[in-house]
Amino acid sequence: MATIPGPGAHVLVAGGGVTGPAVARALLRLGATVTVADGKPAAREKVAAEVPGITVLDLSGLGAADLAAYDLVVVAPGFRPTADVVVAAEAAGVEVIGDVELAWRIDRAGAFGAPRDWLVVTGTNGKTTTTQMLESILLHAGVRAVACGNIGRPVIDAIGDDADPRVLAVELSSFQLHWAPSVRPRAGVVLNVAEDHLDWHGSMAAYTADKARALAGELAVIGLDDPVASGLRGTVTVGFTVGEPGPGDYGVRGGVLVDGAGAPVLLADRVSPPGPAGIADALAATALAQAVGVTAARAGEALAAFRVGAHRAETVARVRGVTYIDDSKATNPHAALNSIEAHERVVWVAGGQLKGADIAPLVQRVAPRLMGAVLLGLDRDEIAGSLARHAPDVPVVRVSAGEHSRVSPVTNDASRSVGTTGASDVRVSGDADAVMAAVVAEAARIAEAAAHDGAAPVVLLAPAAASLDMFTSYGHRGDAFAASARALGDAS
């Protein structure tokens, strides 16, 4: 087992954001001398104020000669293997790890109390919902547990908690797993693997290999319905499927979720969020919880009471017979596919930064469900082009910001033009929130016009793209969508 830094060790923490202060506090508790480096002055000021007793430096320009003075470099998850600080540290012969790896080493050494059971959740989509379900199951069963990792709370904070949780429900991204080579959880799941973050990892193979690190422990749980995840294996492997399960696997039999022994968990139509993705997440969470002794009955009780968190297939409004659903967390095509396939008739709100992902397979698959699409953001034209090729009968509106338009975002008094793809173009004066208000108004117009037999299609925000081209986060994007949908009712 790798040693942990103690008195006399000099450690550089690269990145003063969410994990930086937590890592610095843990290292100080171990007796190490800590330096935090960040390229942003505001971040340096923040971490210096939060963590007395550390040195703060500008990350820019640190070379191999500077880094040779340190015994260890701990990088924030977003640092690529090609980042200057990583390359310089390796040139100086200094080990580079992430905050999750440091937490694992501290935990295995018993430095912050007896080692915990780690239950690790990863996948391209569904990580957060599964982790939340897992925490709910564990707590309902009387287990001292906490959700941590990519879900918000750094793992290194969780292992230092005075409440001393015995089981950690750890959501890990591919970045975090890349920088955590030693982690061997009690059980880990790979829900699915689809194209995402390939600009960071360099290839699909490298991305998949980093995801597969979650399966390096005692029990590996894999999504059998996913073509990539289903091919992964651990020392002991079980799978889950939204269909009829094979021997030892988790699945759905006669409309009931069952565990690996065939014991009933709960009715499939009681799972929240509804649809195949929610059922898959519930099965994965149950499999992980059973690795630490939770019964199928207890898991079912917890799942029956579970409700999805904000921005994850959350119903935010019902106005004039139309339901508005915020799945802003669907930041890639694979996640958007799961979201759209939970509904028969959809007016799709999409767009943002596709991050190099191919949108065509998604459009081809969901085209029969689409009653319309309203697009915004950086890559709206790419999505519009794909819709024109693969779903030419679906009405499409592109909404963008324009200085010379006069528009009331709620009533959408914008002038229209028809673009080269056949999509209608609407230009809106104002910020991202104003654009979203116009988007929602357009979606409402299409949904209400498409209603028949008293049933209207849902308006679904499932962007298939990242948010930072327009919004401060996917949460901001979802909040803007929800506020605009509710405002439709206020204006009626």
The CATH number that applies at residue 325 is 3.90.190.20
* Residues 423, 325 within the same domain: yes
In a domain, 259, yes or no: yes
The residue type found at 258 is: V
* Residues 382, 293 within the same domain: no
Query: Of 416, 434, 437, 433, which Cα lies nearest the Cα of 425?
Result: 416
* Residues 43, 69 within the same domain: yes
pLDDT (0 to 100) of residue 420:
44
- For 176, 205, 439, the CA distances from 426, given in Å and listed in that order, are 40, 41, 9
Say whether 124 counts as a known binding-site residue. Answer: yes
In a domain, 101, yes or no: no
- According to DSSP, the β-strands at 145-149 and 167-171 are parallel
How would you classify residue 24: left for phi > 0, otherwise alpha for psi between -120 and 50, otherwise beta?
Answer: alpha
User: What is residue 13's three-state secondary structure?
Assistant: strand
Report CA 54 to chain centroid distance, whole Å: 32
Say whether 125 counts as a known binding-site residue. Answer: yes
* Residues 301, 335 within the same domain: no
pLDDT (0 to 100) of residue 423:
80
Q: Where does a domain end: 270, 305, 340? A: 305
Instruction: Look up residue 345 and give its two tokens.
Output: 């008739």
Mark out the alpha helices in 213-317 (DSSP H runs): 276-290, 296-305
Say whether 128 counts as a known binding-site residue. Answer: yes
Sign of the CA dihedral with 111 first, then 112, 113, and 115 last:
negative
How many structural domains comprise the chain? Answer: 3
Query: Of 77, 180, 172, which Cα lies nearest the Cα of 122?
Result: 172
Q: Where does a domain end: 283, 305, 327? A: 305
Range of the domain at 19: 10-93
Sign of the CA dihedral with 6 first, then 11, 14, and 16 last:
positive
pLDDT (0 to 100) of residue 151:
83
CATH code of the domain containing 25 = 3.40.50.720
* Residues 347, 461 within the same domain: yes
Distance CA(444)–CA(468), nearest Å, equals 25
**CA angle in degrees (0–180, nearest 5) for 188-285-298:** 130
* Residues 261, 387 within the same domain: no
Give φ, ψ of 163 to 5 degrees.
Answer: -70, -15
pLDDT tens for the chain, 492 residues long, are 478 999 999 999 999 887 899 999 999 999 999 999 999 898 899 899 989 999 999 998 889 999 999 999 999 988 989 999 999 999 999 999 999 999 999 999 999 999 999 999 999 888 889 999 999 999 999 999 999 998 878 999 999 888 899 999 999 998 999 999 999 999 999 999 876 665 666 688 888 999 999 999 999 999 999 999 999 999 999 999 999 999 999 999 999 999 999 999 999 999 988 889 899 999 999 999 999 999 999 999 999 999 877 788 888 998 988 999 999 999 999 889 888 988 889 999 999 999 888 999 999 999 999 999 999 999 999 999 999 999 999 999 999 986 433 333 333 334 444 444 568 999 998 899 999 999 999 999 999 998 876 678 899 999 999 999 999 999 999 999 999 999 998 754
* Residues 375, 461 within the same domain: yes
pLDDT (0 to 100) of residue 395:
95
Give me the long-range contacts of 448-454 (CB less than 8 A, separation at least 24): 448/320, 448/321, 448/322, 450/345, 450/347, 450/371, 450/372, 451/321, 451/322, 454/321
* Residues 111, 81 within the same domain: no
* Residues 27, 175 within the same domain: no
The residue type found at 114 is: A
H/E run at residue 382:
helix 380-390
| CB-count exposure of residue 205 (10 Å: 0-12, 13-18, 19+) | exposed
Instruction: Look up residue 398 and give its two tokens.
Output: 């592109």
Q: Where does a domain end: 285, 305, 325? A: 305
- For 280, 334, 345, 347, the CA distances from 190, given in Å and listed in that order, are 11, 14, 30, 31
In a domain, 434, yes or no: yes
Read off the DSSP letter of residue 308.
-
* Residues 322, 435 within the same domain: yes
Whether 418 and 426 have beta carbons less than 8 Å apart is answered as: no
* Residues 342, 291 within the same domain: no
Say whether 53 counts as a known binding-site residue. Answer: no
Tokens 């070379």 locate to 63
Say whether 113 counts as a known binding-site residue. Answer: no
Distance CA(355)–CA(37), nearest Å, equals 28
Instruction: Look up residue 305 and give its two tokens.
Output: 């009471």
